[in-house]
């Protein structure tokens, strides 16, 4: 077993257009299966989504991904977190 950290961030931390694009990934899809947002694995939950930090360690930021999302994922990865929980109920 490996234990990893989880970063909690408000969905309000993301640009509105990017949040809307990620939300559209979940329309009609089974939320239990990871989806892909320009190479970033994302999984829906009732109040937002989880994003995996795996891409930021060795890859360059895709043009379609905001600098804000990339920094959040990078900071979380450097702090030992594999996932970031983007939660609508988290204080921004």
Q: Where are the domains of the chain?
A: 10-87
pLDDT in tens, 30-60: 656 668 899 999 988 778 899 999 888 778 8
Q: What is the pLDDT of residue 77?
A: 94
Asked whether the predicted pLDDT for residue 69 surpasses 90, the reply is yes
| SS3 state of residue 52 | strand
Q: Identify whether the C-beta of residue 53 lies closer than 8 Å to the C-beta of residue 84.
A: yes
**Do β-strands 48-52 and 40-45 pair in parallel, antiparallel, or remain unpaired?**
antiparallel
Q: Identify whether the C-beta of residue 86 lies closer than 8 Å to the C-beta of residue 49.
A: yes
Alpha-carbon gap, residue 16 to 13, rounded angstroms: 9
Q: Identify whether the C-beta of residue 52 lies closer than 8 Å to the C-beta of residue 72.
A: no
């Amino acid at each position: 077993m490996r234990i990893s950290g989880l970063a909690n961030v408000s969905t309000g931390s993301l640009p509105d257009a990017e949040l809307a694009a990620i939300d559209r990934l979940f329309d009609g899809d089974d939320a239990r299966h990871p989806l892909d947002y320009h190479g970033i694995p994302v999984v829906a939950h009732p109040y937002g989504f989880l994003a995996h930090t795996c891409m930021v360690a060795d890859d360059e930021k895709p043009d379609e991904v905001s600098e804000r999302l990339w920094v959040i994922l990078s900071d979380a990865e450097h702090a030992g977190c594999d996932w970031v929980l983007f939660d609508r109920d988290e204080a921004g």
